[in-house]
């Protein structure tokens, strides 16, 4: 609650991937090749405010929401960049090439549910702008993933 993020290791299953129904919303953003910040389309190419430069091309980078679950309940969290690659099983450039085919995207996301356990490091941080009846809102973000090992998970439980 002091503004410092809390990190936790979680062994979980992927229970839902939120796929936007609106064609104006995407599961990715176009990023600067150098700093990975969001770029704006410009007549000369892609403009990065962080680098103060214009680039010919931009790099698609994952930005989507998933729900994970384990024996204690479920949690909705954000996934960016490489974590998205781990969860969806393809890199974002491959996803970008197929993103307009809604059937292919839904097929990809539905096939990833429940098929493999995940081990994630999750950051929980209080959202300074979000409050509900229960108190401050907490934002959860996956920051790292690892190959799930039942042996390691059982050792931690013991």
For the chain, domains (ranges, CATH) are 6-28+63-157 (2.40.50.140)
In tens, the pLDDT along 113-132 reads 776 788 899 999 987 776 66
In tens, the pLDDT along 72-114 reads 899 999 999 899 988 888 999 999 999 888 888 888 888 887 7
pTM (2 decimals)? 0.82
pLDDT band per the 50, 70, 90 thresholds, residue 25: confident
Buried b or exposed e, range 12-28, using 16+ CB within 10 angstroms: bbbeebeeeeeeeebbb
> CA–CA separation, 95 vs 38, rounded Å?
18
> CA–CA separation, 124 vs 122, rounded Å?
6
For residue 136, give every residue at least 6 positions away whose Cβ sits within 8 Å of its Cβ, in sequence order, or none: 1, 126, 127, 130
């Amino acid at each position: 609650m002091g503004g410092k993020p809390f990190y936790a290791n979680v062994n979980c299953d992927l229970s839902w991937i939120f796929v936007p129904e609106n064609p104006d919303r995407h599961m990715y953003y176009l990023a600067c090749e150098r700093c990975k910040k969001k770029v704006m389309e410009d007549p000369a190419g892609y403009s990065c405010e962080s680098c103060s430069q214009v680039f010919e091309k931009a790099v698609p980078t994952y930005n989507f929401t998933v729900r994970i679950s384990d024996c204690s309940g479920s949690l909705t969290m954000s996934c960016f960049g490489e974590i998205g690659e781990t969860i969806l099983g393809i890199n974002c450039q491959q996803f970008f090439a197929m993103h307009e085919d809604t059937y292919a995207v839904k097929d990809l996301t539905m096939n990833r549910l429940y098929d493999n356990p995940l081990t994630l490091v999750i950051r929980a941080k209080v959202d300074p702008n979000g409050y509900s009846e229960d108190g401050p809102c907490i934002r959860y973000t996956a920051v790292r993933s690892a190959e799930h090992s039942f042996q390691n998970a059982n050792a931690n439980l013991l």
